[in-house]
Structures are given as structure tokens and as C-alpha cells.
């Protein structure tokens, strides 16, 4: 079996630090692919790749997470392995810089699929996965949050947060989320997704990232995928399950991602999502309907990382 891995660094708009972000994706792909070549599982590979992106501070996950409207850091993550059938996810967790590791522990050490909030944080404490609040909520992030609030109040950006106005921002560079999908030498597939949500979200908001079938999915003998974009839209469409269903019908990863995004654009709207996938034969695919998307993968033995833009 030919192993393969593909990662994404978010979909939306990208304005700066492009080279640095692409370097992170290259590192993530390289680390994950080496594990696959050494005989590790697809689950090991996707988790390792996501940890690299969470630790970078350059992407909207882990150390680089966005902040809520009132200045908190709440992170989500989810993993799924087609070989063992395990699923694990966490949502709205604070003081955890690698929620993807916590999600895997939920899958492997508990009888649950999803832990949220305080309960998930207590579980993280037991496992030694918590960090200080200052690691995730920096003075730079708080300053950016205040600037985004001002722009939103003036109606200059974040205009799609309409209902929030009834309760009382240049879009972020990326809608957020990092993720990976892989197939190992045994033909097992796995997916992992992690996010800090989006700037100005209300505390307690949970998007697609920890929702199986929406932000991540993996079917035995079929493939796996990870999504990014506007979480509410991805949940409505159940994007990753739609991609896996197409692969189950015989479409390869590329055709499945492209068709799923095409249908989502018609049913939900443009500018909403991106998705990466790998099928059980080792083919990779990606598609998006946003302005741009960061993607990394291995092709012909070479690690590729690129910023994709819509023509």
C-alpha cells in the first residue's frame, strides 16, 4: 500500500507571513509522511502533523488560536481512525495548546466521543496537557481583538456577524482550522482537525471541527478528510461525510472534494469552506470556494506546500 498524507492550514484570506506558514505546512507533511514510511499508523501521522501546526503560532490552532469576543481562548479538535474505528473530540477547551492530543486521549482512554469545556479541561489536567493562560492569550492577541471589534462596530468588516449586533473587522487572515488526512501502509485512513474558531465568536461557540462528519471523517476502505472554513456552514452541509460518501461511490479523492465543494457552493453559498482528502488508494484531493487555501502534501516523493487562490 502506498502511504499518503495531505494537510491544510485554513481557508479564507491570506495577507501576510505566507512563506512562514508554508514552511510550517512543509514541516507538518514531512513529519507525518516519515511516520507513514516507517510503518506508523495513519492516526499517528495525522496527529503529529496537526501538532506541528498547533505549535507554530502562525495558524489558527493551538498557540495561534483566535480569541472570543470577550478575550478568551477556546479551542476545538477532533480525530477519527478508520482502522480501529475510534473517534475523539474536544470543544471549547482553554489552557490546552494541543487539543488534538487531548481529542486522541478522549478516543483512546474514555468511553465518550466528545468532551467539552470544564470537563475536558479537568481531563487535560489529569493527563498533564494544560498550559498557562498566558500561552494562548497574549498582549498582541488582545490588542488585535480590540482593533477587530472597532472595525466590526464601524461596519467595516465581520459584517456577516449580523445577529451579534442585536446583543449589545477585516476578516481574519484565515477562517481558521488546521487539519490532516492520511492513509498508511495497511490501507487504514485517519483524519485530524484542530481550530481556535474565529475572531469575535461568542464564548461557548462550537464550530464544525469537533463534529464527526462535519469537520473530519474517515471510512474504512474508503478514505478520510478534514474541513476548514465557516463552521456553521460546514455543519449544515456535513461536508466531510459528503466527501467520504462520494469516495465510497468510487470517485477518487480529487473528484470527491471538487464535487462536494461544488454542491456546497450551490446549496449553502460561496466563500464558506475548503476540504482536503485522501482515498484508500493513496490519491489526494483538495477543493475550496473561499478566496484562498493553504495546502501541503507529498507528490512523487516530494513535499509540496502551496497557497492556492481562486482564479
Domains within the chain, CATH numbers bracketed: 4-84+172-309 (3.60.20.30)
Q: C-alpha distances in angstroms, 33 versus 30, 70, 126, 170, 180?
A: 5, 39, 31, 36, 11
* pLDDT tens-digit map of 29-57: 999 999 999 999 999 999 999 999 999 99
**Residues facing 278 on adjacent strands:** 224, 284
Region class of 235: left (phi > 0), else alpha (psi between -120 and 50), else beta: alpha
Cα(107)–Cα(70) distance, rounded to whole angstroms? 31
Look up the pTM and report it.
0.93
Cα(61)–Cα(137) distance, rounded to whole angstroms? 13
Mean per-residue pLDDT pooled into runs of 10, the chain (311 residues): 94 86 97 97 98 96 94 97 96 97 98 97 97 94 89 72 56 68 97 94 95 97 96 96 98 98 96 96 96 92 93 73
Cell numbers describing residue 6 = 495531505
Catalytic residue among 130, 166, 168, 177: 177
Cβ neighbours of residue 270 closer than 8 Å, sequence gap 6 or more: 289
pLDDT reported for residue 167: 53
68 noted as active-site residue: no
pLDDT reported for residue 171: 39
Amino acid at each position: 500500500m502506498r502511504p499518503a498524507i495531505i494537510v491544510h492550514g485554513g481557508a479564507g484570506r491570506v495577507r501576510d507571513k505566507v512563506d512562514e506558514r508554508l514552511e510550517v505546512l512543509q514541516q507538518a507533511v514531512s513529519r507525518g509522511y516519515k511516520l507513514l514510511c516507517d510503518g506508523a499508523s495513519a492516526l499517528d501521522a495525522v496527529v503529529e502533523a496537526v501538532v506541528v501546526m498547533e505549535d507554530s503560532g502562525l495558524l489558527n490552532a493551538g498557540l495561534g488560536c483566535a480569541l472570543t469576543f470577550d478575550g478568551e481562548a477556546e479551542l476545538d479538535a477532533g480525530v477519527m481512525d478508520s482502522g480501529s474505528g475510534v473517534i475523539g473530540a474536544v470543544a471549547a477547551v482553554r489552557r490546552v495548546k494541543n487539543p488534538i492530543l487531548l481529542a486522541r486521549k478522549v478516543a483512546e482512554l474514555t468511553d465518550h466521543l466528545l468532551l467539552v469545556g470544564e470537563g475536558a479541561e479537568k481531563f487535560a489536567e489529569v493527563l498533564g496537557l494544560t498550559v498557562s493562560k498566558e500561552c494562548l492569550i497574549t498582549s498582541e492577541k488582545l490588542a488585535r481583538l480590540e482593533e477587530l471589534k472597532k472595525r466590526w462596530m464601524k461596519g467595516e468588516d465581520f459584517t456577516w456577524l449580523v445577529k451579534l449586533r442585536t446583543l449589545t473587522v477585516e476578516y481574519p487572515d484565515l477562517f481558521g482550522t488546521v487539519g490532516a488526512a492520511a492513509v498508511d501502509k495497511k490501507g487504514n485512513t485517519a483524519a485530524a482537525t484542530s481550530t481556535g474558531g474565529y475572531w469575535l465568536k461568542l464564548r461557548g461557540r462550537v464550530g464544525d471541527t469537533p463534529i464527526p462528519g462535519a469537520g473530519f471523517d474517515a471510512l474504512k476502505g474508503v478514505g478520510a478528510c478534514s474541513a476548514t472554513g465557516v463552521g456553521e456552514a460546514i455543519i449544515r452541509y456535513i461536508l466531510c461525510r459528503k466527501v467520504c460518501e462520494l469516495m465510497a461511490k468510487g470517485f477518487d479523492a480529487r473528484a470527491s472534494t471538487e464535487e462536494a465543494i461544488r454542491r456546497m457552493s450551490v446549496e449553502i453559498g460561496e466563500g464558506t469552506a475548503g476540504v482536503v482528502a485522501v482515498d484508500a488508494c493513496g490519491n489526494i484531493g483538495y477543493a475550496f470556494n473561499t478566496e484562498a487555501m493553504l495546502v501541503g502534501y507529498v507528490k512523487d516523493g516530494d513535499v509540496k506546500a502551496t497557497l492556492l487562490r481562486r482564479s
